[in-house]
Amino acid sequence: MNQRLKIICFALVALCCNPCGAQSPKDSLAALQRGTATLKAHALDAAHSASSLAQNTASLVQDAAISGYINTKIAFNRNLADYDIDVSTNQGVVSLSGTLYFDSEASELIEMTTATAGVTGVDANKLSIVRSQQSFSDLVIAAKIRGLLVRERLLNNKSNPQVSIRCESKKGVVRLTGTATELAQLQRAIRLSRTIKGVTRIESEVKIAT
């Protein structure tokens, strides 16, 4: 119990035990009711604060776990391990910063990050590429979509290799290719693609394998 609640409790006890009869029974009852209401309000505030603290702590733990997992993946990736890449996570949104040499490396990093469970978004604005040969915005769009496809087992699905939906982006126009085993998989890939900022149109050449 915090200090404020203790003070209120002591005041209520003193009021109930007042031997002097300074207040009428009616006034004493009204004061007791006001004190009880105040006590309840502070108790609710304390409960809400405790709940918020628990939620914030859980969020911090999850963010740390996400950053740790991505850093581990980078350390064991032969294309990325030698780079100084900073990874930070805030409420599921991962921020990446650092300098990479090739477009393919940046694409792999963004895709890998997006595919990680618990990640709700990826900020790649602080990444730079030494020998970039394509639009950075299109690179990010395609990499993020591929990451979502991997996470949803619509790409690189070893248990069902017939499901392999690939994508590329040019000026915000996303082109989906590859194969799926049912229409619902293609529809899900299209919905996922629409969630990525910068996508202006989606074209599909995905074949449904029978």
CA 180 to chain centre: 28
Is 112 domain-assigned? Answer: no
Cα separations in angstroms, 111 against 73, 124, 171: 12, 11, 19
Is 91 domain-assigned? Answer: no
Q: Mind listing the pLDDT tens digit for each residue in 58-116?
A: 788 999 999 999 999 999 999 999 999 999 999 999 999 999 999 999 999 999 999 99
Q: Report d(CA 18, CA 23) in Å as an integer.
A: 9
Is 76 domain-assigned? Answer: no
Number of structural domains (the chain) is 2
- Pick from 161, 131, 133, 167: which is nearest to 149 by CA? 167
**pLDDT value of position 50:** 62
**pLDDT value of position 10:** 46
pLDDT band at 169 (very low <50, low <70, confident <90, very high): very high
**Residue 4: partners with Cβ closer than 8 Å, 6 or more residues away:** 42
- CATH number of the domain bearing residue 196: 3.30.1340.30
**pLDDT value of position 58:** 75
Is 31 domain-assigned? Answer: yes
**pLDDT value of position 158:** 86
Is 127 domain-assigned? Answer: no
Look up the domain containing 47 and give its range. 3-13+22-59
- Pick from 117, 126, 86, 83: which is nearest to 102 by CA? 83
